[in-house]
Amino acid sequence: MPPSYANLLQGTLDLLILQALSLGELHGLGVSRRIEQITRGTFQVKPGSLFPALHRLEEAGWLASSWGASENNRRAKYYRLTAAGRRQLETEAGEWRRVSLAISLALQAT
């Protein structure tokens, strides 16, 4: 079992969702699978965190949604990045890189 990140920081989750959607539109399960894939299984996002986050990001105007047919021909709600979302992704990614670099440096300093 991969470690459970119950207290996954909200900002991190938002960043992961935005990143997951940067390659194209996905439905809820798709987002969760893509995150699993791009984090090589480190993060498994539970629906209880995923859906509130998706709705929150949509309300913030960073995601847009539309109804479409899924791979097995079911109706599903697809999310995609808006222009504002793409800008937000860049900002947050930059922020994250700075923070993670700083923390890596701190940890190497022994």
Residues of this chain that interact with another protein (CB under 8 A) are 27-29, 46-48, 51-53, 55-56, 58-61, 70, 72, 74-77, 84
- Minimum distance between the CB of residue 105 and another protein, rounded to whole angstroms? 31
Strands (DSSP E) along the chain, which ranges? 26-27, 63-69, 75-81
Q: How far is the CB of 103 from another protein (least distance, A)?
A: 26
| Residue 58 C-beta: closest distance to another protein, Å | 8
Give the H/E segment covering residue 95: helix 83-108
Can you tell me the distance from the alpha carbon of 36 to that of 108, in angstroms, rounded to the nearest whole number?
28
CB-nearer residue toward another protein: 42 or 70: 70
Q: Which is nearer to another protein, 72 or 110 (CB)?
A: 72
Q: Does residue 80 sit in helix, strand or coil? A: strand
Which is it for strands 26-27 and 63-69: parallel, antiparallel or unpaired?
Answer: unpaired
Give the shortest CB-76-to-another protein separation in angstroms: 4
Nearest to another protein of 59, 108 (CB atom): 59
Single out the residue of 21, 99, 93 nearest to residue 53, CA to CA.
21
Q: Name the token pair of 21.
A: 């959607």
Q: Which is nearer to another protein, 19 or 79 (CB)?
A: 79
